[in-house]
Structure formats: C-alpha cells, structure tokens
Structure 1
C-alpha cells in the first residue's frame, strides 16, 4: 500500500471554485499531493442538461484516473448532485468523495433542532440533492433550501465584505432564518470566501457547515481507514490543470486558494 500512499488526491470542479476544497485539503492533510482539474472552458455547468454534465464529468474522471490518483473528490456541487454515480462507476475500487455527502452528513450530525438551511446555486438547490441526502440519513430533519445566484459573481468580483454582498445575503437568508434553522450549509464552493459575512448576517447561534472543510475531514478519515495516507517521505506536489486559462483565472484562483497557484497547465480535449 506504500506505493499507493504516494499517489495524489484528484480534485475536480467545473471551474475555479473547487480550489476552496484544495485549500482545506492542504490545511488538513499537508503531506498529501493534490492534482486539481477545473473545466474552465465549459463553465458554468449549472445551465447544462444532466446528460451533458454526466458526459463532461466522465471525461474529467477518465483524465484524472489516467494521471494516477488514489482518491477522487468531486468539488463541484452541480457535478455531485447529478453525476456522482458516473464517477463511482468509472473509479471502481478508488474511493470517491463529494461535497454534498460530506456537508449533509455534518449538518445532520450537528443540528440540534433538526431544522437545517441550505444555500447554493439554483441548479444545486433545484436538484434537491442536499435534502435527499439528509433525509436518507435522518428522516426527521426539516431542510429549507435557498438559491443564491448572485453570490458567485460577487465572490469572483472580490466583493467579499462589500455592502452590496451584505445586503444581498440579508435578502436571500430572510426566508431561511424565518424557519428558525440552527445549521446552515454553504452548498457552493465559492461561499467559504464570504463565510465571515454570512455568519455575521445569520448570527452566532446558527452554525455554518463549510462543505470544503467537511470533505477534507472525510478524506482524512478515509485515507487512514484504507491505510493509503502519504507517509511524508517527500514534499507534496500540487498540480493545476484547466481547459482554458481566462485572463482573470490566476487572480481569482489565488484568492480561492489563499496562496500562489504556481504553474497552471492547460489541456485540450
């Protein structure tokens, strides 16, 4: 198993948002190498059909499996909502984790009142994936979902503490807070960047569940359970692969990652 231990963790997303998952993995598992794939040429996925999302997700999965990875993490809520089975079928014995399962498990475990809020993109919310997963874990939980379509462009604009973002959050969260939720899932990989602002809006009594952190914790447990954690004999390597390098990718990517991206490779399908 020692050879497997030195292989990287494969993380993928429709664009740049999944770098918040990479950041959480770097902090939780500093010895692990990571290969990140962002499908920046075809983002956003949210407006595409299920068949198209499944096809794109399958392509990315094949690419990462060919690179040689010991674990796959679906860092995109849209992919996780509609195409996780495609990834699992292709991965075979390689463990597959995703942000929806990780976030749902943590929310159910930590909610005291069993009233849970979920905020996400319209596609993620309309898929009902978080609610279905939570109800499978605990049939008695009440889940209140709210689409927040403006959060992604505001985060990518860098308006993390802007008054416009605060006012937008107050409007979006009104109906969720009216249900007296005690736990709120940040159901999009962009949202960790505005976590302090959201916490301020919902108040200290509402616990925020950051799916990037929860999936990193899940990864740590799974690596230990399978005996495939990196023994740390060599420094970890980080690779970033995208399908297009937009002008602002480096700036936005480094904001999400919290450090320099270094070299970014581009692949052509």
Structure 2
C-alpha cells in the first residue's frame, strides 16, 4: 500500500538532528508536506566509513521513494559528504539537496575577514569536504576545522546547555577561536549543532556569524508543488525514544504513536 502523503519533501538523517533542517524547511515552505526518516537503528554516521554511510543513505532513499516525493533532502552532513552523488543517481530525476554546498556558499557570502571556522563530525572533518568546497568558491579563503563528535551525543540526550555542555563546547571551540586572527564565521557542519546556538553565541559573541547548514539548504529548493501541509515521521528503531528526544529539537510535541517504525533491512 502506498503511503497517504502526497508528493512530500522527503528528509532523512542518521537520527533526530535533521529535524533542525525540517524546521528550516517548514519555515520557508509552510504549505508543503514532509516525510522525515531518522535512522535511529544505525546512528551515529559520523564515525562510520564512507562506504557504510553511502550504503545506509541509499537504503533510506529507497524507503523514501515509496512516498512519491517531490524532492529529497539529505539532512546529515556526513551523508551529504559521502553519499550525495549516490543518492542523486538513485533518486533521479528528483532534486536531491545536501548540506555542504549551500552552507559553504552562505559562509563565503557572510565572511568579512576571509577566515571561516567549521565544526562537524569526525567523518565530515576527516573528508576535508568543507575546505574543498570553500576553496572551490574562493581559493583565498582560510578554513579552520574541528571535529566535535561528542556534541552529537549531547544533542541526542538534550544536554544543550549547562556546565557540562559549556565545558565541552569551549574545549572544541578554543583551538579555532583562541587565536590572534580568529574566524568571523562558523559553519555548524552537523544538523545536531543548531541546538547549541545559544551556547555558541554566549561563548563567541555577536561578532561571529553562525551558518546553519539546514537553513542554507532550504534556500536551494524551488518549484515544489505540494499543498497539503502534512508531516509524517518515520524511525528505524525505538519510536518512543525518538519521540521523546525529537521533541527537544522540533517545535511540535511528539509521542511514540506519532512515529512509524520502519524495517530498514527491507530496503538494504
């Protein structure tokens, strides 16, 4: 049986971090329908090999294609890094939007001192994808990067403030910003990281521009025609935990009954 939602924008992530992207999409396109798939059975993606991330992303894409989507958004920087072209090939001719290119373009536009900081998962930082994209746009850009893997776990637990979160965020940011010529722009290169935005601003002040990769990616969609305004939530494991944690990310109260459990092995 085909799902009831009609031509939604399909969004997938390794877990709940991509809900920050869904929020940005909803804000920009409130009339659209959405289907969101969080791969809670296999998170995190940030510590996994490129080959595994690509395989997992393709399996999520196959599931979402059953919903007759109008577009697919890869709401995960790690998956965008390693699987964008594979998902585009699988979903063609549908538009597929990743996180990297839009965020890099927004950062280039925002910076005044030509120095951009990047924080992301280990996999994204190790790939060097942001540095490559930034220098492709502007070869004179200086990029300073830091892997912040522990922030993903903090975000999933809802620990986005307080002394523990503050100490860990400072530990990650100091190598980039405690310098004479610090960046004036910071790419939040993981969709979990916007939940720490208030903390980032407290530590960095107003002189540093924060680039939310989800908000940047939302500007890339055009020609979408859905009109129903529905949202369907899917998870590959533990809907109760997904709902409880997702409510910390998403401006809509969720309970386990709102989350449909998907057998990801059927699409692998």
| TM exceeding 0.5 | yes
For these two proteins, the number of residue pairs brought into alignment is: 255
Q: Does 1:29 align with 2:29?
A: yes
Q: Does 1:241 align with 2:237?
A: no
Which residue of the partner structure matches residue 211 of structure 1? 213
Q: Which SS does the other structure have where 1:37 is aligned?
A: strand
Which residue of the partner structure matches residue 3 of structure 1? none
The 5-angstrom pairing of residues 221-232 of structure 1 reads 223=222, 227-230=223-226, 232=227
Which residue of the partner structure matches residue 252 of structure 1? 245
Bigger shift: residues 110-119 or 161-170: 161-170
Which residue of the partner structure matches residue 51 of structure 1? 51
The 5-angstrom pairing of residues 1-269 of structure 1 reads 7-177=7-177, 178=179, 179-219=181-221, 223=222, 227-230=223-226, 232=227, 235-245=228-238, 247-261=240-254, 263-268=258-263, 269=266
Bigger shift: residues 39-48 or 66-75: 39-48
Tell me how far apart the structure 1 counterparts of residues 105 and 70 of structure 2 sit (CA, whole Å): 23
Tell me how far apart the structure 1 counterparts of residues 51 and 74 of structure 2 sit (CA, whole Å): 17
- Name stretches of at least 5 consecutive residues in structure 2 with no aligned partner: 1-5
Tell me how far apart the structure 1 counterparts of residues 188 and 144 of structure 2 sit (CA, whole Å): 13
Moved runs in structure 1, 4+ residues, more than 4 A? Answer: none
- Name stretches of at least 5 consecutive residues in structure 1 with no aligned partner: 1-5
RMSD, matched Cα: 1.5
Q: Deviations over 1:143-195 (max 9, x none)?
A: 10011122122222222221121122222111211241010001111111110
Tell me how far apart the structure 2 counterparts of residues 158 and 63 of structure 1 sit (CA, whole Å): 28
CA offset at residue 212 of structure 1? 1.5
CA offset at residue 246 of structure 1? 5.4
Please give the TM-score of this superposition, normalised by the length of structure 2: 0.90
Please give the TM-score of this superposition, normalised by the length of structure 1: 0.90
